[in-house]
Chain A
Amino acid sequence: MSRTTQPEIASELGHAVGPAHAPRDAALALQGLTVSYSEKPAVFSVDATFNAGGMSAIVGPNGAGKSTLLKAALGIIPRLSGEVRVFGKLLRNARAHIAYVPQSASVDWDFPTTVLDVVQMGLYRKVGLLGRLSGQAQSQANECLDRVGMADFAHRQIGQLSGGQQQRVFLARALAQDADLFLLDEPFAGVDAATERAIIGVLKLLKNEGKTVIAVHHDLATVRDYFDHVLLLNVRRIAEGPVETAFTTENLQATYGGRLAATHLDELAVADGGR
């Protein structure tokens, strides 16, 4: 599934548009990442470095390739070129470090499984094919449910959950993986305010534990409150860096084009250093 990359081509592209090499100690380093569904790249030659222990947002308009970038970084969809390194390792050697939280709308919630079963999916790799999900695994899963405030729902059929509860269950499943790098695809999409607070609380705790959090995020108003690092993406990398320096009016304008009203932008962005 994960095809071998062509390092020569990738590094050439990297030279053309970004830093010569990605730092090896970064939690996630993308170099010259290009993904294409047809002849038109959805993500083109993106370099990005997400430092360990950081809390990063990937921001951009609809169709900017945010989810695609995340999926390609995880090897879920093949990349056309480029290199992905997780804690300096190739993706296939770093699986145990990564936990992914997909968009909750991406699955069929009528699937015959319970909340606890879903969370235990996060333990499958550790338990293996034949291993029993022991009492310890059960209590670990329950603990993860507790962290997202869903402990009372362990034995519910997943079809009975609200959108916010579904999102929390997916987060609990990722927690069960005991990973170091958490990649979330729009974790706040379509959830109620209480869930949003619960999720951001868990994410901030993860950060305090030294974990790395990267989330595709669509609500520009909360970027400054939630994150310390931002990647502005619109097929290409528009800007990347600490929120204070990268999340500026100018960069947002460049990312969204005419799609955001200028007055709105001033409220959201960090004041430009020059002004």
Chain B
Amino acid sequence: MNLFVDAFFLQAGYNAALVAIGAGLLGFAAGASGTFPFLRKRALISDAIAHATLPGVGLAFVVMVGFGGDGRSLLGLIAGSAVTAWIGLLVIEWISRRTRLAEDAAIGAVLGVFFGIGIVLLTVIQAMSAGRQAGLESFLLGSTAGMLFQDAIVIAVGGSLAVITTWLMRRPMTLVAFDSDYAASMGYDVRRIDLLMMGLVLSVTVIGLKLVGLILIVAMLIIPAVAARFWTDRSTSMIWIAGGIGGASGYLGAVLSASAPAMPTGPIIVLVAATIFIFSLLFAPDRGVLAALFRHRGFQARVHRRQGLLSLAAQHPIRETYTLRLLAREGLVRPDGVPTDAGRAQAAKIARDERRWDVAREFYQDAGLTGRYDGLTPIEDVFTSDEIAEFDRRLGPPVTVRGD
């Protein structure tokens, strides 16, 4: 526990602090730039992009060694991975636009083929220069060991650029994600905006490769956006909420993995994000599972109460025990089902409202107002008291409901 507190306040050593800050920044950038691909329902393209980075990592290494370099320069590897990831993205785009294949087929094909090529390259490299253990396989699952200050700078600069671009382009990207035909009719170049959206994902992917690894980076792009959707109904707020969730997951995940020996950073980050997602799924107000459950229960109770009172008004027996229990709890019926005075009054009121609705329907042919009848909305919410008085004039004197 002490280790966790130390790590949380960046007191657990230079490397741990660097990793925690880097992972936090990366998480924020990933969450923010993953928002629009998620809203465009193209989140899975980011998985193909991530897998398409691997051949680039291998090729960049070979090229750098060929020119007499070390081969492990992070910027060089990032550049290489960005090139093949971009090619993968264009191939997906081309396949789904120009052939009869659907996008999911294109994603599957590109993901598999590019990853396969990457693995072959890595295997060859390891056989070629065994002495020069490049550690390229750490790009698969990520590694925090030996993270340098300059690595954190790369994440900070690249991540900031991705977030700023997302913010600047939020309007065109919102338009394209919501209604691409309309965007096109206004003269926006939908294809370019789509490429930009995925280009942002690509840049976050390549700068996060070394830390989180290409297999799990997709989770940092998608999960924060999915979780953020539970907390807001505005796409622009989603950018920041997803960024916040991503940043918190990155930071907390890195801190957790630093506070216990042999805990893999990337997977822990993803698990923290998943925890936030599950919490959001269950407990978010309005869109959460529990909120929906309570809402449904409340609705059910209102329907039963209304039906029960209508039965009382019509002097029909109430057979459903749930309805009886509801009415009894409110003191509207006695346990044996006989209405109390309060129950009779309520039933009379509701029966009268039903007849008022009947008059309203004759009165206003317009479905705009009478269309709001759903058996539950109080008539006072739809019509003014003057209008209701007019209905009553046509109805005649009130009728009392008698008990048995």
A contact residues vs B (CB 8 Å cutoff): 1, 71, 74-76, 92, 95, 98-100, 102, 106-108, 111-114, 117-118, 121, 124-125, 127, 129-130, 157, 173, 177, 183, 192-194
Contacts and interface: CB of A to CB of B under 8 A. Distances in A.
A71 B183 CA distance: 12
Contact of B187 (A95, A114, A157): A95
A183 B238 CA distance: 32
Nearest to A98: B185
Interface string B167-210: 01101101101110110111101110000000000000000000
Given A76-B184, A124-B186, A129-B169, A112 B238 contact: yes
Given A112-B229, A192-B368, 6 more contacts: A92-B187, A102-B185, A124-B171, A130-B168, A192-B371, A194-B368
Given A111-B235, A113-B235, A121-B175, A102 B181 contact: yes
Nearest to A124: B171
A75 B185 contact: yes
Nearest to A103: B181
A125 B174 CA distance: 13
B367 interface: yes
B367 A194 contact: yes
A167 to B, nearest CB: 13
A112 B185 CA distance: 22
B233 A100 contact: no
A71 B187 contact: no
A112 B237 CA distance: 9
A157 to B, nearest CB: 4
Nearest to A198: B368
B126 interface: no
Contacts of A192: 367-368, 371
A112 B234 contact: yes
Given A74-B185, A75-B185, A194-B366, A107 B371 contact: no
Q: Which 7 A-B pairs have the closest CB atoms?
A: A100-B185, A194-B368, A95-B187, A76-B184, A157-B233, A74-B185, A107-B179
A211 to B, nearest CB: 16
Chain B interface mostly: helix
B39 interface: yes
Nearest to B169: A129
Interface residues of B, number: 30
B232 A124 contact: no
A76 B367 CA distance: 36
B182 A121 contact: yes
Contacts of A121: 171, 174-175, 178-179, 182
Most chain A beta carbons < 10 A, residue from B171, B184, B238, B371: B171
Contacts of B175: 121, 124
A125 B371 contact: no
18 contacts: A1-B191, A74-B185, A95-B186, A95-B187, A100-B185, A102-B179, A102-B185, A106-B179, A108-B41, A111-B177, A113-B235, A121-B179, A124-B171, A125-B186, A130-B168, A177-B186, A193-B367, A194-B367
A113 B174 contact: yes
B191 A113 contact: no
Contact of A113 (B41, B178, B190): B178
B181 A75 contact: no
A84 B245 CA distance: 48
Contacts of B185: 74-76, 98-100, 102, 183
Nearest to A94: B187
B233 A114 contact: yes
A192 B369 CA distance: 12
Given A106-B181, A129-B172, A1 B186 contact: no
Contacts of B178: 107-108, 111, 113, 118, 121
